Amino acid sequence: MRNFLGRILGFESPLLQLETRVAVLMQQEITHQALLAVRDAQVREAQSFVREREATLRERESVVRERETTIELLKAFPANTDTGTWQGITPIAQNMDLEATILAVLPQLDGWCTPRKALWLAGLIQNNSIRRIGEIGVYGGRSLIPMALAARGVAGASVYAIEPWDNSVAVEHATNAGNDQWWREVDLGMIKQKFITAVLSYGLSEIVKIIELPSNHARITFTAATKFDLLHIDGSHAEPQALADVMDWLPLVAPGGIIVLDDIGWKSVAKARDYLRTQCTVIEEVEEEDKCSYGAYRTLGIEQTAHTAAPQHEMA
Ligand SMILES: C[S@@+](CC[C@H](N)C(=O)[O-])C[C@H]1O[C@@H](n2cnc3c(N)ncnc32)[C@H](O)[C@@H]1O
């Protein structure tokens, strides 16, 4: 009332003045708090930028360390001048992107993986946060090295190379006369040497773990506790061994992980392929022009089991 009269009579009481001052101060406080919140956010952003930069720096330092290790290993690894097995591997340029790198290394490697399949495998790794990779049947690394190059950018990645490089294992189960004869005679010792040279030359010695055993022996060295995110099965194409590899190793692939099977168009691989079709969802089955074929299958999630979920296709 007094304030009201004061306004009408043209003067403000000290109480009104005080109230006005308090209101102004409160408004100022709100403004300051808002400014503080903005500054805090800016500080947090700057801190996270610094942390990111530090992580990049650490990553680069680890690449430098890896390169130094490779140089040391190559120095320690004697060249085999008699057979020339160490010749012909050109280390890759560091500034090339993954696709260009894979296309550049592929012709230097022994094996059968096509450029399209190599890039497809690399894409599976890059697009599915894959860290733990395995391959049964490595030969000269023509599929494993591209996978390892793709995995190199993934923190904590490892690539298990399961391969006995043993002619008697390669022909343990018959396929056809011509194929078996070829596998009896090929110099697998030399193929292994060239593979190891490639692993060292391309700076992959820290992530590639070689298990020089037939798949059924290697299988018992793995426990069910550690699962693969991606397993490429490209070992013996004889019907019993191809089927055994798929059945024995599928439980070692993480729920929602990927199993890739090579040569799904071969008659002797059909049972293994059909087993995967019933136990997993089909991600993609590819047949290239020259009849080279392969498929990717996703294992069922934790909540599903092979008995409760019907096979489905992610892509036709
Ligand atoms: C078709 S080659 C692999 C090709 C290679 N992945 C590529 O893309 O070039 C098959 C390989 O499987 C290996 N192999 C045969 N029987 C095997 C077994 N029981 N366990 C593991 N590897 C086996 C052979 O020694 C051979 O090197």
Fold for 84-299, please state it: Rossmann fold (3.40.50)
The H or E element that residue 262 is part of is strand 253-262
pLDDT score of 8 more than 90: no
Confidence band of 70 (pLDDT split at 50, 70, 90): low
CB 280 within 8 A of CB 298: yes
For 237-295, the pLDDT digits (tens) are 999 999 999 999 999 999 999 999 999 999 999 999 999 999 999 999 999 988 799 99
* Closest by Cα among 202, 73, 218, 70 to 142: 202
The length of the chain in residues reads: 316
Spacing, Cα 216 to ligand 1 middle (Å): 13
C-alpha to C-alpha distance for 298 and 109, rounded to whole angstroms: 28
Please state the atom number of ligand 1 nearest to the C-alpha of residue 140. 9
What percentage of the chain exceeds 70 in pLDDT? 83
pLDDT of residue 88: 64
pLDDT score of 216 more than 90: yes
> pTM value?
0.73
pLDDT of residue 307: 38
CB 120 within 8 A of CB 147: no
Spacing, Cα 87 to ligand 1 middle (Å): 23
Ligand 1 atom 14, closest CA: 235
Confidence band of 10 (pLDDT split at 50, 70, 90): low
Share the mean pLDDT of the chain: 86
For 120-161, the pLDDT digits (tens) are 999 999 999 899 999 999 999 999 999 999 999 899 999 999
Domain ranges of the chain: 2-55, 84-299
Ligand 1: residues with CB < 6 A are 111-113, 136-139, 142-143, 162-165, 169-170, 214-215, 234-236, 241
